[in-house]
Amino acid sequence: MAKINTKLRIAILGPGAIGGFLAALFWKDGHNVICIGNKDSVTKIQNHGIEFESQLYGNFIAKPNSVEVLNSSVDVLFISIKAPFMNDALKRINVDCIKNGTVIPLLNGVGHGENIRDSLGPRVAIGTIGSIEVVRNSKGTVCHLSSARPKIEIASNSNILKTTLKELSIVVNSVGIAISVLNSEAEVIWNKLVRLNAIASLTTAYQKNIGEIRSNVKLNKLLKKIVQEGALVANREGASINPIKVMNQINNLPCSLQASMQRDVRLGRKSEFESITAGVLKLAKFYGISAPAHEFVYGLINQKITDLKNNEK
């Protein structure tokens, strides 16, 4: 990785909402940014750049490089693709281009790390990004809707990456994103997932925002049960998660908050359902943890997905 007092070569696999957000901020700070995506997204970025709107960071048009396949070496590769599209997206990376770099996947849910290492090699850490609501609207504009600074958490169980991650955290913080280097990959995954799983599962199952979920006595009780069950799974995975602390975090979220999984399911698009709700439930069964709230919500979401597929026929 380049020294921290120089600008980095940063690749973003998946220039959607989160990927576009990162690309815009790193580009604005003077880093050499390369977006990697399909032909359509690459052409749009080449012709028009990334239009970015945020009350926190300002409005501007970022003009990073964009390619369909990464064929030049980079210091850092952020993976911001959603889980259902990850395997195909990884084929866009020439492994030789990241052999001396660091790969930071920012995927939600479980089961991604080993798959990415199998494809891209050992220099893969684990990351998450939270405290952020960002969408790409129908015009392709990346709209950052949150009022607070987003926060990235990263960790590696490999000693060879620990120093690199500390150096990278200085760079990330300098572009206006809060970042913490945690002690273990499990801690990174579950620090976000227990909270996200509860929010995404309930808002998707009932197609309500988090404020409506919290204000409904029955649904708020179900929300707490989802958090409690998720914390039990997290603890077995090696992350100590306090469900009371998680509920306090959820209670401080804006009432209007909706999960991207909620929108994807509603619109009949591929979603993170299998890696979030279903992924946590699968681990609960593996560890012999009773998870009736997860079973119930899983059934509701699965039925919505099935009904949408049937309606399309």
The pLDDT averaged over each successive group of 10 residues in the chain (313 residues) is 70 97 98 97 96 97 98 97 94 96 96 92 95 90 93 94 94 96 96 97 98 98 98 98 97 92 94 97 98 98 92 72
3 state DSSP class of 99: coil
Domains in the chain and their CATH numbers? 9-183 (3.40.50.720), 188-312 (1.10.1040.10)
Cα–Cα distance, 121 to 126 (Å, whole number): 13
Name beta bridge partners: 151.
Answer: 130, 178
Q: Is 62 helix (H, G, I), strand (E, B) or coil?
A: strand
Rounded to an integer, what distance in angstroms lies between the CA atom of residue 247 and that of residue 238? 20
Are the C-beta atoms of residues 185 and 156 closer than 8 Å to each other? yes
Instruction: Describe the strand order of the beta sheet including 151-155 as a list of residue ranges.
Output: 126-130, 151-155, 178-181
- The region that residue 67 occupies, defined by phi over 0 for left and psi between -120 and 50 for alpha, beta otherwise, is beta
Q: How far is CA 218 from the centre of its chain?
A: 29
**Closest CA relative to residue 219, chosen from 278, 305, 300:** 300
Token pair for 246: 């998680």
Q: Residues 14, 79: contact at Cβ < 8 Å?
A: yes
Main-chain phi, psi angles of 153, to 5 degrees: -120, 135
Report d(CA 214, CA 24) in Å as an integer: 34
Residue 258, both tokens: 């909706």
The CA distance from 203 to 213, in Å, is 7
Neighbours of 129 (CB within 10 A): 23
CA dihedral for 213, 112, 18, 263, sign (positive or negative): negative
- Tracing tokens 């970015």 back to the chain, one arrives at 52
